[in-house]
Structure 1
Amino acid sequence: MVKNAINYLDDRIQDDYNYLKRYYKKEEDLKKNHLSNIAIHYLYGRSFFKDIPVSKRSKEAYDYFMEQSEKYWLSQGLYSKGMMALYLSRYDKSQVAADITKSL
């Protein structure tokens, strides 16, 4: 049941990413900050289930929002930064996680 729930979340984050790709046609527009609280909560929740691989269909969205997290963490509030520090450290992005922790 947990695996089905995780796959559902993976599919929803892919839907969000597909919407961004439809709305922002230019590559440089996609590189701007599109890190939503929903994406942050998704990545935080997802980090508890590293043993369940991200579906192939959702891998592009997952990678996109992880990259956004590493790049745009400064623009987030304290609560979001805390969650980001936790999930980035769980995914071995320890330097960014340490930078976020220092900023708190």
Structure 2
Amino acid sequence: MGGLTGRWHEIVGADIAEHVVPETFAPAPDGRGLILVLRADSSAWATSMRLLLPQVRARIDLELGSGVVRDISILGPAAPSWKHGRFHIPGRGPRDTYG
């Protein structure tokens, strides 16, 4: 992951690297290749990145070697947590199916 994150700006360019960052880089469940998870700072950037995925995959294969990254997953921004704060009310426990 260090090689990928260290050269992320070079691989995808400054514009994309400003809005999309590598989040995890883990072995695939079957042990063949690695799975790269990218996090975009907005849903618009996540959509754009999905459209640019073939070019980004080709560039990653060129930089890291063909077949090293087996799959790339793109996630949008993390949703805010409503479970904390001044107005939080705890649920009714395991019977609470609405929250």
TM-score between the two structures when normalised by the length of structure 1: 0.24
The higher-RCO structure (CA 8 Å, 6+ apart) is 1
- Structure with the bigger percentage of strand: 2
TM-score between the two structures when normalised by the length of structure 2: 0.24
